[in-house]
Amino acid sequence: MKNDIIIRNAEKEDVRQIAEILVEDWQKAYRGIMDDAFLDAMNVSQRCEIEGKRYQRYVVATDGNEILGYAWLETAADEPADCEVVALYIRYAKRNHGIGKLLIQYAFHHFREIGKKTMIVWCLKENAESRKFYEKVGGKAFRTGSHRWGGKEYEMISYLYDLA
């Protein structure tokens, strides 16, 4: 499957699939970590509105017309990082097929090409699967913090990557 995957900049036509991936991923991966009422209230139409305003910052992994996953890349970040993968989501049924690795490697390459030196990624501290992935692709646990979703604070952890 990995041989047919193309990574490209997201387009307006991709917004619905991006929203579907995000809602499904959060509702499945974060169940038991985040508040059920918050997760149950998420819907694709609402996410289409939000993602439609920022899809230009995304790259998508595609196989034909299907979007398998996406990453949100930013060229500014808090010290000591100078770039960030703000989000990385894979269609739930397509997890563990190397798509996340392809997207993170794309981010490494992209940021190196434009002269960035240190990349940061944040994830939920209780999300063991994501933490394992970020560590496996070379991330070093860096700092903790918190983020508010649905009126509740959640602990976060960041991973740093030396791009030099």
Taking the CB of residue 43, how many other CB atoms lie within 10 A of it?
A: 10
Question: The whole model's pTM is what?
Answer: 0.93
Taking the CB of residue 124, how many other CB atoms lie within 10 A of it?
A: 18
**Measured distance CA(135)–CA(162) in Å, rounded:** 13
What are the sequence ranges of the domains in the chain?
Answer: 2-162
DSSP 31: B
pLDDT tens by residue, 36-66: 999 999 999 999 999 999 999 999 999 999 9
pLDDT tens by residue, 6-44: 999 999 999 999 999 999 999 999 999 999 999 999 999
Q: Closest Cα partner for 91 from 79, 83, 99, 102?
A: 99
Fold observed for domain 2-162: Aminopeptidase (3.40.630)
